[in-house]
Structure 1
Amino acid sequence: MTDAISSILSQIRAHESRTQGALGGPAGLGDALPSNAVDVARPATSDFQKTLSNAIDGVSKAQNESGALQQAFELGDPRADLARVMVAMQQSQVAFKAAVEVRNRLVQAYQDVMNMPV
């Protein structure tokens, strides 16, 4: 299970680095700011929110593709062989379990912070 979580986290990080590269814009506008400057136009939570949203969308897409392959197999489509259906089902199951584990850890971290004495 730890390998699956590590894999999902590395995919999220890779996706985040790709999106940050794409958000740099033409002529590297982000390079004009000093490293300690605060970007007022974009809140810091938007990157996390986008990353989390993209991860959830990926899980949803995997589940939808798995369901479509299952239905195609049940209807006798020759392109949907049993091996592909089983692999797609396992991939969607692992993605969902990883998402649930990440959610559980986020909830636990939130509870730990809320229970800290001031």
Structure 2
Amino acid sequence: MASQPTNAISAEQLMLSKMETMRTQVQPPEFVVSANPIDKQSLNAPLSFSQAMTNVLDSVNQHQSVASQKMTAVETGKSDDLVGAMVASQKASLSFNALMQVRNKVVASFDDIMKMPV
């Protein structure tokens, strides 16, 4: 009976040594979490509220002018890209609606601040 535990220990040691050999043969690549590349760059420079609103207004205006150009080209027969014109039109409409919602939130917030007692 004393020989059974030694066989069990040796079988365990044999299994562990085989596992260690396999582990050394197959080294998985180390999982390294690197810093966010956007944080490394200076893309997120400080921006004033007026500059942010100007950028958004310019973007919405650009969407609307592209949609207008594409719709005009389809109407005059210079282009047959009706789908592209409709997508541009919807994109301009969505961006304008989003701008109006942001404007309404800003105005409501300003009104709330003005109603606060000093």
**1:52 to 2:77 alignment:** no
Give the structure with higher Rg (CA). Answer: 2
Compute the RMSD of aligned alpha carbons: 1.7
**1:102 to 2:105 alignment:** no
Count of matched residue pairs: 77
Map 1:4-15; keep pairs closer than 5 Å.
Answer: none
TM-score in terms of structure 1 length = 0.61
Match of 1:77 in 2: 78
User: Which amino acid is the alignment partner of residue 67 of structure 1?
Assistant: S
User: Which amino acid is the alignment partner of residue 111 of structure 2?
Assistant: Q
SS in 1 for 2:58: helix
Q: Where does structure 1 differ by over 3 angstroms across 4 or more consecutive aligned residues?
A: none
Report the Cα distance in structure 2 between the residues aligned to 1:111 and 1:47, rounded to whole angstroms: 21
Report the Cα distance in structure 2 between the residues aligned to 1:111 and 1:104, rounded to whole angstroms: 10
Query: Taking CA–CA contacts closer than 8 Å with sequence separation of 6 or more, which of the two structures ends up with the larger relative contact order?
Result: 1
Kindly provide the CA deviation profile for residues 41-67 of structure 1, in whole angstroms up to 9, marking residues without a partner as x. Answer: xxxxx6211111000000001001100
Match of 1:27 in 2: none
User: Which amino acid is the alignment partner of residue 57 of structure 2?
Assistant: I
Runs of at least 5 residues in structure 1 that lack an aligned partner in the other structure: 1-16, 24-45
Report the Cα distance in structure 2 between the residues aligned to 1:113 and 1:95, rounded to whole angstroms: 27
Report the Cα distance in structure 1 between the residues aligned to 2:44 and 2:61, rounded to whole angstroms: 20
User: Which amino acid is the alignment partner of residue 98 of structure 2?
Assistant: A
